[in-house]
Amino acid sequence: MKQDNLLDQQSHFAFGENWLDYARKIDEEKISRAMDDLRRLSGRQRLDGMSFLDIGCGSGLSALAAMRLGAGRVAGVDIDPDSVKAARAVFARFAPTSPADFQVCSVFEMSAATFGTFDIVYSWGVLHHTGDMVRAIETAAALVRSGGEFYLALYRKTLFCGMWRFIKRWYSKAPPASQQRARRMYVFLRKIIFKVQGRDFDAYVRDYGCRGMDYYNDVHDWLGGYPYQSITPDECRALLVRMGFAVDREFVKGSRHLLTGILGSGCDQYAFHRESRSSQSAREQATTWHTHAFAREHHD
């Protein structure tokens, strides 16, 4: 079986076309919501003077939110040229004098030697679409400076991930008319679920505030997001801890019943920080001391 070239944008869903469409809808209200979400994830009101790298920059909205919150150096990369075009257009509208830098680049082409390290590396809903999620996380994590922070949003693993991988692979290659029919069916099923739950679907769409996103653009993004992988919170924490990170905050979704994820799992969000060498050494020493003390106590 032929393996996809992960550095080739053609092996991925055309997210950039969707971001170009969404970028035209960005306004001050959406920027404000994106800023609020970044405050929640970072645990800070301001990012004054901090360097910020957005991997998979999409429309550039998150990078713009970081700049509005005072980030000193803002950069973004995306494998899709249309995404970079969208990000540059958004900054041209809302921050024309900003020195923010956006480049067409795969995460797999990045290294600290060529890109430097950053106070904050941010990647929201991106690394699970690279085709090699674990390697993508490891590569992105290497760009976080000592003591810096790593903000991630990754699809939550559910019983339906295999089904969605099949659907997404089909949708990402389907003609526009078929994609449109699939979106209508998905929204129709959502409406049924909302009706059964006694919820107002129209109000949900109207007030859709996830990072300032648009509901219908997100539907297209969800259905087309291929390659597709997912991860449990325990797996994510264990992976980052092995790389010398500690979790600061997380916003994870609960698995309430067997049907969780049948119409999509959504993303769990994490804020990690890279421990300094002295902190790691102290933690390892404390762990070793505790283990030895525990052994002595039970031996005696």
Per-residue pLDDT of 75-87, as tens digits, reads 999 999 999 999 9
Query: Average per-residue pLDDT in the chain?
Result: 89
Q: What is the pTM of this model?
A: 0.88
Percent of the chain's residues with pLDDT above 90: 78
- Listed in sequence order, the DSSP H helices in 72-210 are 81-94, 112-115, 133-141, 161-173, 176-197, 201-206
Instruction: Out of 64-68, 201-205, 258-262, 291-295, pick the least confident.
Output: 291-295
| Residues whose CB is less than 8 angstroms from the CB of residue 1 and which lie 6 or more positions away in sequence, other chains included | none
pLDDT, residue 261, reads 87
Q: How far apart are CA 147 and CA 159, in angstroms?
A: 36
Q: What is the dihedral of CA 123, 128, 133, 138, to 10 degrees?
A: 10
> Facing residues of 155 across strands?
267
- Give the containing element (helix H, strand E) for 271: strand 267-274
Q: How confident is the model at residue 266 (pLDDT cuts 50, 70, 90)?
A: confident
Residue with tokens 């997100």: 218
Q: How far apart are CA 238 and CA 236, in angstroms?
A: 5
Question: At residue 2, does pLDDT exceed 50?
Answer: no
Q: How far apart are CA 13 and CA 277, in angstroms?
A: 39
pLDDT, residue 300, reads 43
Q: How far apart are CA 87 and CA 101, in angstroms?
A: 10
Percent of the chain's residues with pLDDT above 70: 86
Residue 149 DSSP code: E
CATH number of 9-296: 3.40.50.150
pLDDT, residue 209, reads 65
> 227 and 15 in contact (C-beta within 8 Å)?
no
Q: What is the mean pLDDT of residues 265-270?
A: 92
Question: At residue 286, does pLDDT exceed 60?
Answer: no
- Indicate the domain borders of the chain: 9-296
Q: How far apart are CA 4 and CA 12, in angstroms?
A: 9
Q: Would you say the C-alpha torsion 22, 160, 257, 152 has a positive or negative sign?
A: negative
Q: What is the mean pLDDT of residues 37-61?
A: 97
Q: Higher model confidence: residue 45 or residue 261?
A: 45
Q: What is the mean pLDDT of residues 91-114?
A: 97
